[in-house]
Structure 1
């Protein structure tokens, strides 16, 4: 068909016949040229997709070509009807030019095109005027065709114009909606101006964000674009100093660039730490959103980072971060940052070092709660890192540092270890992590305080119970030492807390001294009264420093009635211990006066505990005379039905007889 439509049939007919006017067969063959219109359509389609040309102007040219071709075809067909009609004067053109066949072809063509285009545009003047029946029939179909073509042209042109102004139209609609909102709610003029100014700046900033464009590209191209645009900025950020290029490239590839208008809150105070931001251009204010008013703490410039404290310390954001000018930011998901840090151990440690060293040297008010006072400046074991992380309560962060091989018992200039700091601040998860890594719970600081003392002094009872259970296993004088220390310091608050936790008030320290003996020797009346009223035994107390009459008055009050200030849960546990001790006096008569054997009991299988890193403390008990009683005691201690439990030793071997258990054995109860 392409070849047939390209053959010049009229020229061939003229060569063969020597006549210009040929018959109907030649005219029909000439109509094969309409087949080439398909090529014209394909040509315009290719131009529309060619990025070198404007789509708007190519589309306009295509619509214009369609219009001119339709006008040309209609004019030619209408003239053919007049030319073929037998009565020359009874045609549309014969009414104007009686001898139209004698006029030049140019005049006839112009006349036909003129009336055709005025009819198509329906201007109401110069329309084709049908004279005979054939012309009327043609005009009917021509006007119907004009209706469809006009609708097609108007629809396409409207779409082109509206698409170019759609964003502006949406902006104007939003402005109108905002104005109606202000009027409806009768907001003050100041708020109205702020709302409209913000929406105008937002409209300008949206044109700079290119999220949709980048998301359409393949991952490899996006990665190259991000590397070209963001890598020079990211590698200068303090957090990524001396970090490998591979990690930086993986982080950069997952960053998103955003333009934020002025006076917009990027991060709200106490917001969840979902994202970390790097400033590419502009300024961001650090704001403390207090109850009464806001306070600006500082301003961040190009190359600064914010949001990383909440992300790495796993806690809500400390402050509000608000843009001061039109600002371009790089946004990175917290999960993405953590995953990148875990990819390579060396880079993980380096990022943690950079983070903590930055806040160690920074003297900004925004990070004062991260600082630990009096830390040695040149600590080869990075004491500042462990101590700082322990103070923040980030157990996951602390775990990473300890896995890197840092000493969990490192101390600051006052002798405080990470366990001291975590216990005093109430960070229970950090305490468990430190215990998991075998920290020493008996270390004392320069004031002679252990982590156990710091926990009870700060009234963190759950931490105290964890530490006390472990300390009592290795030091049987733990309770006596704590009570005697509180008595020596005349610390009534701590003594009250210790008694509430169920410690035996008559416990002795390693020197065989009780708290009541120390209080009376130091003549501490208030402390003696507290101890006496809580049931301290004064039968074996012999001291001349304390007034006998005062002691008698206290004992008389105690005889009238007093209430021991002991925590109910802990009291029941210690009462059970006392009951077991009374029973054991009869049970262990067969040991001929030797000290009753003691065993440590634990829940779960020993292999499972080691693999999963369990840090749940065991229980030190006196060994009963039967395996059934042992299971009963274990069930009461751990709160489960142990009658059907299996008892094993440290190697996992099952124990089915009480006689094979020795003093200081470790027993495990498997449900």
Structure 2
């Protein structure tokens, strides 16, 4: 068998590579064709193919001559072309999946090389780039006038193959199938080919944290900063997955978090309470002061949600405590209204540190570029600072509202679901007295929405619901 393959390669390869259909194809592809062709002889006058028949062979003329004729309805024939050495026939019918357009007859004794339809289609399927080249050559070199009508079908076949190939490459990158991915790219797949969402193999490998595939794609010239249609870069995908090694690899080769989604992703990570992703995003260049359509920054959100750890991380990366949202509120004010004592203390320290920087003349006059320079505050900044200080000093005196209900939601009758809004008094006793007078019962306990007893009104947040009991 091995000797037969060697003989086939030496005898037929040169004939195959001279055929116009296989021009500019790779040596490996030509060898695969050469190993599968079989020689056949035809005598003068024989009909090799008949017009209108289904064809399952492609022929290359080695020597001799044949003619192509078109048979009309009345039986008359029109001469189409003469086929001599290195000419081909049957390729249009096989590759375009149509009936044979012409009858082919032998003029002089000839030898042809033939390859069956399934073999050539299998080889073209494996060697993707060569398969596209074959179809391009079919359009470029065919003298068949009818082929012009099939041009759109051939172009569609090419695009269909490219889409299928892109899906295979992306799937291999996503699944971490390194050897399969290498074989696909070796066969001509484009490492930068994107799918319908603009995702490249690099996006998917970074998302899944496949370090070896990321390295291989870089060696193959994959684009490290390409964005998908959602604005995600490979580095951004790696950051979302917290894949530390992949992040380092991509940053080393110049990857950036330039996606339009990066700022939104920071806000989403804050809302989810995912401190690991928040730190990873900030580590890789996301602006800690990115603001949304309401001009809210990540620090606004973290403060309003009482997320102490994330507030600390954001402050560490330079988040602005004086940023003003569309309602005129700063992160400091959010922390006072919604935060715990621990959060208020953190924000108080941040305000005091800002105050010291603004009030230190030595820092205002520094001109050395190697030392951080703090710009002199404007009148607005000073006013904002004083406002923040007053909030921090007098936060115990801030008025808060609560809604009192006469029954907990798990025991409330039909007429007991209506509550009353009031300012939070200084003591629980005052709150119980107010509820007793309003609802007409003597109440003894105050509960939060989770059923916990409230023993100090400092534990009631602004706009919180509370429930009174008389048992």
Q: TM-score range by the shorter chain?
A: 0.3 to 0.5
Q: Calculate the TM-score normalised by the size of structure 1.
A: 0.26
Say which structure is richer in strand.
2
Say which structure is richer in helix.
1
Q: Calculate the TM-score normalised by the size of structure 2.
A: 0.34
Task: Choose 1 or 2 for highest CA Rg.
Answer: 1
